[in-house]
Amino acid sequence: MLAKRIIPCLDIKDGRTVKGVNFVGLRDAGDPVSLAKKYAILGADELVLLDISATLEGRKTMLDMVLKVAEQVNIPFTVGGGISSIEDVDALLKSGADKVSINSSAIKRPELINELANKFGNQCITVAIDAKQIDGNWIVHVAGGSIPTELDLFSWAKEAEERGAGEILFTSMNNDGTKNGFANEALSRLSTELNIPIIASGGAGNMSHFVDAFHVGKADAALAASVFHFGEIEIKDLKKELKNNNIEVRL
Annotated catalytic residues are 11, 130
Least separation, in Å, of the C-beta of 121 and other proteins?
Answer: 5
Question: Taking CA 131 as the corner, what is the angle to CA 49 and CA 139, rounded to the nearest 5 degrees?
Answer: 155
Does 88 engage in binding with other proteins (CB under 8 A)?
no
How many whole angstroms separate alpha carbon 230 and alpha carbon 225? 9
Q: What percentage of the chain's residues is helix, strand, coil (to nearest 5)?
A: 40, 30, 30
CB 213 within 8 A of CB 4: no
CA distances from 246 to 4, 188, 199, 239 (A): 11, 18, 19, 11
Judged by CB under 8 A, the chain residues 93 through 152 that form the site for other proteins are 93-98, 120-124
16 versus 250: smaller Cβ distance to other proteins? 250
Nearest residue (CB) to other proteins, 85 versus 123: 123
The beta strand positions in the chain, using DSSP E, are 5-13, 16-21, 24-30, 47-51, 77-80, 99-102, 125-134, 137-142, 147-152, 167-172, 198-201, 221-224
Sketch the per residue contact string, 24 through 43, with other proteins: x for CB under 8 A, - otherwise.
Answer: ----------------x---
Using the rule CB under 8 A, is 51 a contact of other proteins?
A: no
Residues 168-227 close enough to bind other proteins by CB under 8 A: 195-197, 220-221
Q: How far is the CB of 64 from other proteins (least distance, A)?
A: 13
Minimum Å distance from CB 111 to other proteins? 18
| Residues in contact with other proteins by the rule CB under 8 A | 1-5, 40, 45-46, 67, 70-72, 74-76, 93-98, 120-124, 166-167, 195-197, 220-221, 250
